Each structure stands twice: as structure tokens, then as C-alpha cells.
Chains A and B, each alone.
Chain A
Amino acid sequence: MNEGILKTEKLTHVYSPGTPFEMVAVRDVDIEIRKGEVLGIIGHTGSGKSTLIQHLNALVKPSSGRVLLEGRDINESKESIKEARAKVGLVFQYPEYQLFEETVYKDIAFGPKNMKLPEDEIDRRVREAARFVGVEELLDRSPFDLSGGQKRRAAIAGVIAMMPEVLVLDEPMAGLDPQGREEIMGNILSYHEETGAAIVIVTHSMEEAARYTDRMIVLNHGSVAMEGTPEEVFSRGEELRRIGLATPVMTDVADKLRALGVEVPGTVYTVEQMVTALTALERGRRGA
């Protein structure tokens, strides 16, 4: 198992404490993000996903508990906050709404510039980030002339250019068409593979979590309800449904087939696994 890089300890966040609007968004959350993994954070709307991830780079201060980056509390000092913002990249939902510069190049350079990097390093990073998300051709264009998918990718490049060791994305595929989703996810994974950065994807889509993650954390009402590999989590379908989530369609299909007496082998939660399982079944039948 890889070693942890980012960790929360008894993290709790209360909104508007001491008023009638008081609400506990996150309660006693202990999670660990490990080097080089793809982690999925799953939860229904209002389960505290967004609040939780804003703690990971000190945008929000915990009401109690700590967030540790490589063993050090990130809220310790101004320097540690700065370090956390550089090492933990956070891509918000609909990041394209935060584009503001005249050209895509300048917008991607905003993060590295704030890190006070030398000019040539900024240039190198902008080009590299643009390459990861496939917007090299668009660097001189105004970000406002781009299509929705291109804007989204340019905005993600703005965070990738900071070369974070942990890249956290809140619903990166929301509102895109299937092709756009594939592209974005491909971009993120290529950054993951080339740099070995840990990726955290926040989603409520089980399909996406099943396809892309190594490990999943399921949140319910601000607390961790389940944790484990997709296989482990999806084997607890009943519990998932109870907290307003679902198992991937392929898992449901496999369960229904089994209920009908078809012996679908192995665990199934992606289309590929289903194909493998059914092929195996078919071969077994022919062999018999």
C-alpha cells in the first residue's frame, strides 16, 4: 500500500455556529489520501463532499480537527497554507466560470504566477498543462470564445499548471456530453499517470466512480459511511441504496441475472467486466 500524503483527523465543520441556521456539514471525518492513487469521494447532494474538499487546501478552516499534509498541519501558519494551496490543487464545480484573462495562456499562468515562479518555469508549466488537457492550439484565444468543453479543460489546466501532488476535482464531468466527459477524464488520468499525482474525484455518479477509481469513500450526512475498493463498496448495495445512492447499472444487471439463475462469475461493476463475465459464461456453456 502506498503511503499517505494528505490526511484529515477528526475533521468537523459547523456552518453558522450559535445561530438558528447552525448546521454540521462534516463530522469527525478521518480520511487519508495516498500517493499516486485515484480516490473517489461519493455522496448524495448535501452529504458534505464540497465542504470536505475545501478543507484539503485550507480554503475553509475546520471547526475542530486537523488536516495534515505530509504530517504537518496545513492551518499552522501562512506559509503552510500557501504550501497546501500549491501542493493540493482544487478544481471547483463548473470551473469554466472562473476564467477571467484575455487569453487562455494568461489564465493558465495565473496560478504559477501567484506561486512566484520564474518566467521560463511559468512558460514551461503553462505549455505542459495545456498539453495535458489538449488546449495547446487554443493558448492565444480568448477563453470566452471557446466551447463549453474547451473552457472546462482550459480551467482545469489552470490548476494543473501549479503541478499539484494531489489534484482534487469537484464533479469534473458535470454538464458535459459523453464525449466531453471521456476527454476530460482522459486528460486527468494522463496527468495522473505521467506525474504520479494523487487524484481525488468527487462525484455522485456510481458509473464514473466504478470506472476510474482505485478506492472510494462514501459520505453520508457529513460522516464516512463506507470506505474501500469499488468492489468492496458495491458489494454493499443495500446499504448504498439506504443512503440515497445506487450501485452501478452493471452490478444491478449482474444481480438480477443471478436472481434468475444465471451464474454470472466474479464481481461486476463496469461494462468491461460484464463483457468478460458473460464471455466466460458463454465459453463455459459451449465447453460443457
Chain B
Amino acid sequence: MLKDITLGQFFPGNTVVHRLDPRTKILLVIIYIAALFVAKSWISYACVLVFLIFAITISKIKLKVMLKGMKPLIFIIVLTAALNLFYGSGEPLVEFWIFKITRDGITRAIFMSARIIMLVMGTFMLTYTTSPIMLTYGLELLLGPLKKLKVPVHELAMVMSMALRLIPTLIEETDKIMSAQKARGAQFDTGNLIEKAKAMLPILVPLFISSFRRADELATAMEARCYHGGEGRTRLNVLKFAVRDYGALSVGVAVLAGVAVLAGFGL
């Protein structure tokens, strides 16, 4: 059950998407999200969707994997759709009790849920095709200018990369602890909400303890290898923009510009 969560997971590959500079991919995701929020009409949504499908196709990430990752979000999507459905303005199509469904509401519900789904899928594309190390390196470089404002960019990037790295480990650990407590007769799926919350205790306590232990060990191991922050650190592989990066960025900017222009025409 827990193994289905694919958030923050990296699927190694050797496609163009995988080989893009992480900075390019981060910028593309930002552009993509901007386009998604600027989009107002069917046409502009279609433009962004085509861009997304294109990216998924050439990255060779299976649609099944994508959909599996969406599973935990079904509730939020349905809730958003439902709320928007009933808050539309204009002539009601169907009316019952205090609810009324309008044409406007239906379109809004569809747009909003499409926006969430596409938003999540777009960010999945980033984490699925970029190794955590590359991802943080890219972020660190992009945020580099903030160092002048005394923002600890390197440290933040390091914290983020470790967090991403530890998600699968924690999931595995949770699975193990759950099995062990089940072997002692624990039940996690019966009883009311309070009982269920109480049943989580035998999982959470060991999980916290092992996380702290792991953090401690990791810190010691880093210090043993003379880690002292970002100052003076050099890289084995220095990132360089390639032609494909400029190409990908131009496509992204073109999509955003297109959507913005369409929005300007009220579409």
C-alpha cells in the first residue's frame, strides 16, 4: 500500500528529458506552472496539455506510473471538482435543495481538476526524470544570487536533497514496522477515528526514533568526511547548458507566450 507512493522518486533513464540540464527542467516546470495558471480557455489548456504529453512521451515514463502517483490526490481532486461544480454562476441546469449546477460550474470544475492533475503531473516529470543530486545542484545554482542576501542557499539545497533521498527509506521502514506490529496482533484498519489514530502510535514512535538516529548517524558520517557547508566546495561534473537546453527552454517560453496571448484575447 505504502509502496504505491511514488512522490520524490527517480526513474533512471537516458532520454532527452533525462539528459536535460536540471536548471532547464526546473525553469521549464516554473514556466509550465505559470502557463497553467494563465490558461483560461479550452484552447490554452489544450496547448499546455500537448506540451505535457509531449514531455511524458519522450521521457518514456509509463502513464501507469504517473497515474499511480496521482492516487493519493484523488480525494483533493474530487473535492475541488465538487466545490467548483456548485459555485458556478449563471443559469442553473439542474437544481435540487440548496445545490444548483450551472454550465459555468461544470466548466470550472473541469478546468480546476485538470489544473491540479496537470500541475502534479508536471512536477512529477521533474522528480521522475531528475536524480535528487542533480535536482538540488540545479536549485542551488538557480538560487545562487540569493547568497548575496545572506540566504544559506547551499544548506537549504542540502537539506532538500537529503529529505528527498530519505522519503523512500522512510516508506520502507514504515512498512517494516507495520509488519512487525501486525505480527503482534496490531490492527490498523478497524475501529473509529480515535482508535485508528491511537493505532498509529506503535508505528510513529519507532519511526521517529529511527529517523532521529539516522539523522545523527548521517551528520556524523558527513563530518567524518569533512563536510563544512558549501564554502569552497567544488564539483566533479560542472553543469553546462547544451543546445538541447536552449531548445527546450524556447519551446517552453513559446507555449507560455502563446497561452498568455490567448488569455489577452480573452480565450
Q: Tell me whether A and B are bound partners.
A: yes
Distance A99 CA – B181 CA, assembled complex (angstroms): 9
**B184 contacts partner chain A, Cβ-Cβ < 8 Å:** yes
Q: Are A92 and B179 in contact (CB under 8 A)?
A: yes
Total residue contacts A-B, CB cutoff 8 A: 51
Indicate whether A97 sits within 8 Å of B201 (C-beta atoms), given known contacts A92-B180, A162-B185.
no
Indicate whether A162 sits within 8 Å of B206 (C-beta atoms), given known contacts A59-B179, A98-B177.
no
Q: Which of B141-176 contact A (CB under 8 A)?
A: 176
**A54 contacts partner chain B, Cβ-Cβ < 8 Å:** yes
Chain B residues near A89 (CB-CB < 8 A): 183
Chain A residues near B92 (CB-CB < 8 A): none
Q: Are B206 and A111 in contact (CB under 8 A)?
A: no
Chain A residue, CB-CB nearest to B184: A111
Cβ of B197 to closest chain A Cβ, rounded Å: 15
Distance A229 CA – B185 CA, assembled complex (angstroms): 33
Cβ of B15 to closest chain A Cβ, rounded Å: 16
Cβ of B27 to closest chain A Cβ, rounded Å: 31
Q: Could you tell me the dominant secondary structure of chain A's interface residues?
A: helix
Indicate whether A110 sits within 8 Å of B183 (C-beta atoms), given known contacts A92-B176, A98-B206, A100-B202.
no
> Among the listed B177, B187, B202, B210, which residue makes an inter-chain contact with A110, where contact means beta carbons less than 8 Å apart?
B202
Task: Give the size category of B's interface with A.
Answer: 10 to 19
Indicate whether A59 sits within 8 Å of B181 (C-beta atoms), given known contacts A92-B176, A97-B210, A144-B209.
no
Distance A99 CA – B185 CA, assembled complex (angstroms): 14
Q: Could you tell me the dominant secondary structure of chain B's interface residues?
A: helix
Chain B residue, CB-CB nearest to A161: B184
Chain A residue, CB-CB nearest to B173: A97
**B98 contacts partner chain A, Cβ-Cβ < 8 Å:** no
**B71 contacts partner chain A, Cβ-Cβ < 8 Å:** no
Q: Are A97 and B206 in contact (CB under 8 A)?
A: yes
Q: Are A85 and B202 in contact (CB under 8 A)?
A: no
Mark each residue of chain A from 41 to 80: 1 if its CB lies under 8 Å from any CB of chain B, else 0.
0000000000000100101000000000000000000000
**Could you name 29 residue pairs across A and B whose Cβ atoms are closer than 8 Å?**
A59-B179, A59-B182, A59-B183, A85-B182, A85-B185, A89-B183, A90-B183, A92-B179, A92-B183, A95-B180, A97-B177, A97-B206, A97-B209, A98-B181, A98-B202, A100-B205, A110-B184, A110-B202, A111-B184, A111-B185, A114-B184, A114-B185, A114-B186, A114-B187, A115-B185, A158-B184, A159-B183, A159-B184, A162-B185
What 9 A-B pairs are tightest by C-beta distance, nearest first?
A: A114-B185, A100-B205, A111-B184, A90-B183, A98-B180, A92-B180, A100-B202, A100-B206, A59-B179
Binding site for A on B (CB under 8 A): 176-177, 179-187, 201-202, 205-206, 209-210
Q: Given A97-B206, A98-B177, 4 other A-B contacts at CB below 8 A?
A: A59-B179, A85-B182, A114-B186, A158-B184
